Structure 1
Amino acid sequence: MKLSRMISVLAVIATVAVVAPACGSGGGQESTLAGSWDEIVAAANDEGSVTIYSNHAPANLEALKTAFESEYPGISLTYVRGTDSDLTPKVEVENQTGNGVADVHMTTDAGWIHRSLESGGYSVEVVAPAIDEPEYRAADGVLDDTFFVTSATSIGLAWNTANVPAGLASPEDLLDPRFDGKVGVVNPAGFPAVVHIYRRMDVDYGEGFVDRLAGVNPRIYGSAPAITQALASGEIWAAPGASMDVLAERDKGAPVDFALPANPIGIPFYSHVLAAAPNPNAGQVLADFMLTPAGQAALSENYIAALPGIAGTGVDGSEVVAQDIELADPETLETTAVEEYVASWEQRFVG
């Protein structure tokens, strides 16, 4: 463990000595985190279990459970999978009451991440040694010593290989008149994250890209999976904002392919160890494992990993890692801002 991380752990111990008599029965980490990393691991084994709330794909969470329990057979991992709107209220109630169930929480809700950082009290400092490994790039992946990026998904260029055998080299290719009526886009109504993606297109794909995209009369779909299926069937030929699910369909034999443009747009998954964690030491051990090569191979399969060179992750031909995917500006995700953008988008694309 690096000196800086050791100092952080010792600081927690010092805090315990001061505040322990005043601690209630909420089970917060401040009263129970062990000392050195070896002591934390030993205490985690004594706790015997750890729970994560996550909106990640079920297959990846199951793979994480298998890999973690193989590495730490004395600790049982339970994952509770749901949307951010399902899980965030649980985290808030557990924090308010001190009756914690989750030890680690993973989310893609940029607005909530920023709000929780401003208010404080939801997270504790993560002391996982894996964060100090140079390949993790903590300077780009850790927020206020608490939230740490663990994975990411990215939208990209996708096409039907029968209709577009040469593939797509850049977003500009989609504006060719031959794609008129053959491009698929997602309606952003009800999806703040999709609003973020369209906003970024006008930055990363070129100023005015969304307006020009409307000019090729794209077909409108209700979700990214619907785009993937339309590509596989040949109903549409290409999409500028397809999800990485296209890779899974390609691997199953569908006539589709996928590439990240030079400036990829995506959504990072951030995790944090909760202040109300009933198993605070096991929470730290899970946080550490998620950032190891074995943890990343499980958690980020068919996603973008937080470490380079992890087999089964990322996109062929791209060296992008999760730390390269920007967290959305929370101001653009406020309800009024989202509603205004959706109305403008629908006027351009629906008429």
Structure 2
Amino acid sequence: MTRTKVTTALAGLVSAALVVAGCSSGGGEAPELAGSWDEIVAAATDEGSVTIYSNHAPANLEALKSAFEAEYPGISLNYVRGTDSDLIPRVEVENQTGNGVADVHMTTDAGWIHRSLDSGGYSVEVVAPAIDDPAYRAEDGVLDDTFFVTSATSIGLAWNTANVPDGFGSPEELLDPRFDGKVGVVNPAGFPAVVHIYRRMDVDYGEGFVGRLAEVNPRIYGSAPAITQALASGEIWAAPGASMDVLAERDKGAPVDFALPANPIGIPFYSHVLSAAPNPNAGQVLADFMLTPAGQAALSENYIAALPGIEGTGVDGSEVVAQDIELADPETLEATAVEEYVAVWERRFLG
């Protein structure tokens, strides 16, 4: 299992200001696991609980809790949901002091993932048997035997079905002059991840796409949820970088739809078992469960699963799985690079 190539996009909770202070664990060596997998499960049951820190959607974490506890009734799953900027400092302090609370940590912060891989000390090797299932594609989803992809989300093409009944087959179609003033985009100011999305549009949607997008005089919004609401109301007819939240609105009856283009731009959720875990065996059991079909059905509903063919996950017409959504290059998220890009973007879109 090797560290994956770092080329694609991050689309959400990325905190460029986080700095890893202290590279190694302050709590001594990570606790040893029980021997065989059956012994690990038995030891996890003796531990009796497991805690995950995650920035995933609350509904998905609650579904994961229910499914895990049904599979392992002797182990209670506790989750602490927050942004990366909330949770990463906790992980660092627990690592430095050795006073662990979390056993597993899930994050979308590409910069922190790679800094922690370079420094070491935050994670232990994941031994979950589910990783060896060929359907999981560990060669594409596991970094240095520690971080493993568990879910993903993606931006895509979205439209109001009343105004665009035939939908879109490619991003290029949104640039038609008939959509002048009817396309919605997010202002990237203050959002490094959105900057990266725009950078990738010029690669994955076609060279010069962002510049041509500015020529259709799009309406500018402050967030992806605002885009979703504008689509549902008919204020705009289309968006080239909408979030998968559009699918949830569609399922509620809103006149919207969503599709992934041939080269999707997205954000993977990576998890790791922590070296400061107070319940190291239960942490491994949770890691394994998240990669089973039952775990993926709970964790990845309305998201992109890490296993193919999981009902309720992914996007109709697309076979993309979480392993196809690669981590962003952290260098593109540095403050100076982001500021320079935003300045260029604002000249194009705001005049």
TM-score of the two chains, using structure 1 as the length reference: 0.92
Deviation at 1:186, TM superposition (A): 0.6
Letter in 2 for 1:290: M
Contact (CA 8 Å) 1:28, 1:280: kept in 2 or not?
Answer: no
Contact (CA 8 Å) 2:27, 2:96: kept in 1 or not?
Answer: no
- Per-residue CA distance 1:131-184 (angstroms, 9 max, x = gap): 000000000000000000000000000000000011111000000000000000
Structure 2 residue 271 is the aligned partner of structure 1 residue 271:
yes
Structure 2 residue 343 is the aligned partner of structure 1 residue 343:
yes
Structure 2 residue 96 is the aligned partner of structure 1 residue 109:
no
Deviation at 1:26, TM superposition (A): 3.5
Structure 2 residue 90 is the aligned partner of structure 1 residue 90:
yes
Distance 1:123 1:32 in 2: 13
Percent sequence identity is 91
Deviation at 1:339, TM superposition (A): 1.4
Contact (CA 8 Å) 2:26, 2:95: kept in 1 or not?
Answer: no
Give the 4+ runs in structure 1 shifted more than 3 A: 24-29
Structure 2 residue 302 is the aligned partner of structure 1 residue 296:
no
Distance 2:112 2:121 in 1: 13
SS of structure 1 residue aligned to 2:60: helix
- Per-residue CA distance 1:79-127 (angstroms, 9 max, x = gap): 0000000000000000000000000000000000000000100001000
Map residues 224-303 of structure 1 onto 2, 5 A cutoff. 224-303=224-303
SS of structure 2 residue aligned to 1:313: coil
Residue aligning to 1:14? none
SS of structure 2 residue aligned to 1:203: helix
Map residues 135-146 of structure 1 onto 2, 5 A cutoff. 135-146=135-146
Deviation at 1:27, TM superposition (A): 7.5
Distance 1:274 1:347 in 2: 44
Contact (CA 8 Å) 2:126, 2:272: kept in 1 or not?
Answer: yes
Distance 1:56 1:261 in 2: 23
User: Which one has the largest radius of gyration?
Assistant: 1
SS of structure 2 residue aligned to 1:239: strand
Structure 2 residue 169 is the aligned partner of structure 1 residue 169:
yes
Could you tell which deviates more after superposition, 56-65 or 192-201?
192-201
Letter in 2 for 1:52: I
Distance 1:27-1:301 versus aligned 2 partners, 3 A rule: farther
- Per-residue CA distance 1:16-39 (angstroms, 9 max, x = gap): xxxxxxxx994853x331111111
Which of the pair has the greater relative contact order for Cα pairs under 8 Å at 6+ separation? 2
SS of structure 1 residue aligned to 2:272: strand
Give the gaps of 5 or more residues in structure 1: 5-23
- Per-residue CA distance 1:232-282 (angstroms, 9 max, x = gap): 000000000000000000011000000000000000000000010000000
Letter in 2 for 1:327: L
Residue aligning to 1:47? 47
Letter in 1 for 2:41: V
- Corresponding residue pairs, total: 328
- Per-residue CA distance 1:6-59 (angstroms, 9 max, x = gap): xxxxxxxxxxxxxxxxxx994853x33111111110100000000000000000
Residue aligning to 2:155? 155
Letter in 1 for 2:327: L
Could you tell which deviates more after superposition, 191-200 or 220-229?
191-200
Contact (CA 8 Å) 1:28, 1:278: kept in 2 or not?
Answer: no
Distance 2:279 2:28 in 1: 8
Distance 2:343 2:33 in 1: 49
Distance 1:78 1:27 in 2: 25
Deviation at 1:346, TM superposition (A): 1.2
Contact (CA 8 Å) 2:26, 2:96: kept in 1 or not?
Answer: no
Distance 1:79 1:350 in 2: 42
Contact (CA 8 Å) 1:60, 1:299: kept in 2 or not?
Answer: yes
Deviation at 1:337, TM superposition (A): 1.2
- Per-residue CA distance 1:180-205 (angstroms, 9 max, x = gap): 00000011112111111111101000
Letter in 2 for 1:218: P
Letter in 2 for 1:268: P
Letter in 2 for 1:295: G
Letter in 1 for 2:56: H
- Between structures 1 and 2, the one with greater helix share: 1
Give the gaps of 5 or more residues in structure 2: 2-24
SS of structure 1 residue aligned to 2:269: strand
Residue aligning to 1:313? 313
RMSD: 1.3
TM-score of the two chains, using structure 2 as the length reference: 0.92
Letter in 1 for 2:71: E
Letter in 2 for 1:209: F
